[in-house]
Structure 1
């Protein structure tokens, strides 16, 4: 007996269990977010099987947890060959049920008072609500704060009043050799932030942040790895703009190359950030800093072409969306970096790196060679301090050669 779920899905039997009444709505939501018919059928079939298993236990809708997903997939694996994506499909189903209000949000375990996790969560709230730091910065700061407290207290209660300067020094000496120099530098910055927070809360009187050792990080020690203008032209020419993906990626590459945006700034760009009449682009930089930039004609044309022809129908306000379902915004700058890596690998461009930041370096380097001042470069890149822009003076090799005296004994 065949059962029609909706116009795209037909099952061989009537769905049973607590989720069965919601499978039609689930199928419709998948269709609305751009999933193919095959993927919708797979999601619904898996959901029907999961619902039947829940009904046999029995488990009510309001009692479903992530543990039930794991237990069902183990049960299923004993009878059928596991398929990649089964867990993600069930997570998608449960998230849909939560949005519909039929499955409550799963309560996270409340950490014990004064435990390491309790202290870390309080610090995270402080960074987000009091300091208003970027989400990526909070992730790093919290990570190192947790590592420090676990190193000092282990599984015991984290009595912050017991912290001392020697604890701080020992932790840095233990961790720094294991980390890349830049990551070690970030660790010490995060540790100072946490120790200032501890003093701010009144848990300690001493300024333990001053006890954090300095990790050697010579200013302007390396030359920025910048992609050359001809390499940018070659990369842009290699993108097939006859496809929807190609037109989206071409617009992204132009934003990186022409305006020097960070990958995260491209990912967070929203429709209201583009002032088409004034020809301006509002960029959300680090720490909530906003920067108004002129929108070049070729960049605006590429974005408009993508928006008119290729952007999936979505309620999302973000400019760039995933091509594959679900049609949603990118999770962060990492997705933009992945697009850059993919495009460079498909082209014959021998770029310095596979990252997105090389376009930013390339733009600054080319501006400097064309006579732009450091202030103008800093304004375009959204630098808040001139010292940040100073590193690009190292790449103006022609000017440096004119200033360099001849080597003793060299030919005149």
Structure 2
């Protein structure tokens, strides 16, 4: 076994070799394998899991050399060609493609290869190209959040796909009847709230087309209104007994348990949204002032919330015992490599679902938002005003908070009419 030596700066930091190969690697990536291995180690991969990744990267580098492919011309397409041409089905591992994707990210972040070209793909369909341009406009010109952009793009793409299929994309052929029929189909398939979202997205897209001069008619005015009365339901809150059962289900002697317990406390004690928890960083906490800076998912408004003692203690316990060592500034990290932030709000939902299953309870509703509703209902029962609740939950409109008046049974009972007759 021939061990390839580290660079001098790596030897100064550690005399333990991270990787070894039977033969010295060749090709344009060979001189960067030390740095790649260190990067994988920093992402949380063990030395055992780094070894097969280094072998694959060395093989890929040798293939690039054989095919006279330099770093200046390297692209994601070469990864696919390599996987199809070199790797036999029986020799492929599940982690091979993610390994090479991490390699490409490393090379790009190190400015060793060019960034992927998004707007010049000859294979992109006309609809995909239109959605790319529309999405760029939503982000740049309207400063919408990425989740909102994704929702708008989904409906717009669906509309164009139903109207044009795989044919020529000719916006001049769009008529008011196309718009009305699309919304009618959405209204028959989805809930009123979902159908209303379709109308909002479609109006946005049609205004965009007119602004770009792609259509001459004001088709946005043809989008029909879908009835969706607000305040028709009641808050879907998990009971306090179930909240305590969920918190008790976390094994706080494990790294995962420490993390999940702190997250569940943020949901139940402060009523944070899933996206707000994912966005928290190490800089969000002011330990001297005992406050937590939260950037709202709706409007991006920054708020300073008091940090309850039990929530602060849980976060400290996680930072000391459960949080992996990482340069990532996100407060909550993945447990398994690659070590990074939780990524999206669906991660919080998965944590909630797992905690509910461990607790062995069956609340009437699922998801993380039920903890936010539960906090509001509990504060209302303790005598807090709707204004105070709206301030804590960072509602932009008072109307949003007023829905909790429906669960204030004490106040409702005082204004209820007596039952006629002798019946009680």
1:246 — aligned with what?
A: 257
1:237 — aligned with what?
A: 248
2:317 — aligned with what?
A: 305
Conservation of the 8 A alpha-carbon contact between 1:352 and 1:358: no
Residue 283 of structure 1 pairs with residue 289 of structure 2: no
C-alpha distance in 1 between matches for 2:102 and 2:422: 71
| CA-CA distance at 1:278 after TM superposition | 2.1
**Residue in structure 2 matching 1:220, options 204, 207, 231:** 231
Conservation of the 8 A alpha-carbon contact between 1:260 and 1:363: yes
1:5-404 equivalences in 2 (<5 Å): 7-78=17-88, 80-110=90-120, 115-155=126-166, 158-201=169-212, 203-204=214-215, 207-285=218-296, 286-401=298-413, 403-404=415-416
Conservation of the 8 A alpha-carbon contact between 1:241 and 1:247: yes
| CA-CA distance at 1:55 after TM superposition | 2.8
| CA-CA distance at 1:139 after TM superposition | 0.8
Conservation of the 8 A alpha-carbon contact between 1:365 and 1:392: yes
C-alpha distance in 2 between matches for 1:293 and 1:252: 16
RMSD: 2.6
Conservation of the 8 A alpha-carbon contact between 1:132 and 1:287: no
With over 3 angstroms needed to count, the CA separation of the structure-2 counterparts of 1:180 and 1:4, relative to structure 1, is farther
| CA-CA distance at 1:222 after TM superposition | 2.4
| CA-CA distance at 1:178 after TM superposition | 2.9
2:14 — aligned with what?
A: none
Q: Give secondary structure in 2 for the equivalent of 1:110.
A: coil
Conservation of the 8 A alpha-carbon contact between 2:119 and 2:129: no
Structure 2 gaps, min length 5: 7-16
Worse-superposed segment, 210-219 or 280-289: 210-219
Q: Could you tell me the TM-score, scaled by structure 2's length?
A: 0.88
Worse-superposed segment, 351-360 or 65-74: 65-74
With over 3 angstroms needed to count, the CA separation of the structure-2 counterparts of 1:59 and 1:203, relative to structure 1, is closer
Worse-superposed segment, 170-179 or 287-296: 170-179
Q: Could you tell me the TM-score, scaled by structure 1's length?
A: 0.91
Conservation of the 8 A alpha-carbon contact between 1:114 and 1:159: no
Conservation of the 8 A alpha-carbon contact between 1:63 and 1:103: yes
C-alpha distance in 1 between matches for 2:209 and 2:119: 24
Conservation of the 8 A alpha-carbon contact between 2:284 and 2:293: yes
C-alpha distance in 2 between matches for 1:15 and 1:270: 39
With over 3 angstroms needed to count, the CA separation of the structure-2 counterparts of 1:41 and 1:290, relative to structure 1, is same
Worse-superposed segment, 266-275 or 308-317: 308-317
1:3 — aligned with what?
A: 3
C-alpha distance in 2 between matches for 1:133 and 1:208: 22
